[in-house]
Structure 1
Amino acid sequence: MNIARTVRFQKAWKELNEGEKELAKKALRNMASDLRYPALRVKKMKGAEGIWEARVSQTLRITFQIQGGTIILRNIGRHDETLERP
């Protein structure tokens, strides 16, 4: 699948430290090749129509949408903060 990044995702990316960015890069590679990759634990977000979440690490999450063959990355960050504002 193709991956597109929103401006909000790009801003949130800049706030991550280098270790978090490396973990996120691995998660993004897995997302591009197989959204069902077990470590991602992809699931639909409750109360947010058409928005999904994926696990980067125990504390980091990515929120995204799928349009056609493209994954649109919406946000990345700490679990609670990111899921409050997908």
Structure 2
Amino acid sequence: MRIARTARFKKAWGQLTTVEKALARKAITNLAANLRYPALRVKKIKGTENIWEARASLSLRITFQINGEVIILRNIGRHDTTLQRP
């Protein structure tokens, strides 16, 4: 699958540490290759139409949408704050 990034994702990416960016890159690579990759623990966010979350680490979450063959990365950051505004 192809990857697209929203402006909000790009802004949040800039606030990550070097270590978090490395973890996120690995998670995004795995996400593009296999949405069911076990370590990502992908699940739909309750109360949303088509927004999903994936786990990059214990505290780092990535929110995204799927539009055909494109994964649209919406947000990235700490678990609680990222999931409040997916």
TM-score clears 0.5 = yes
Cross-structure match for 2:45: 45
Partner of 1:62: 62
Q: Normalization by structure 2: what TM-score?
A: 0.99
Unaligned runs of 5+ in 1: none
Q: CA deviation at 1:49?
A: 1.3
RMSD: 0.3
Aligned length: 86
Residues of 2 paired with 1:19 and 1:67: CA distance? 29
Percent identical across equivalent pairs? 70
Distance in 2 between residues matched to 1:35 and 1:16, nearest whole Å:
23
Q: How far 1:48 sits from its partner (Å)?
A: 1.4
The TM-score with structure 1 as length reference comes to 0.99
- Structure 2 regions of 5+ residues with no counterpart? none
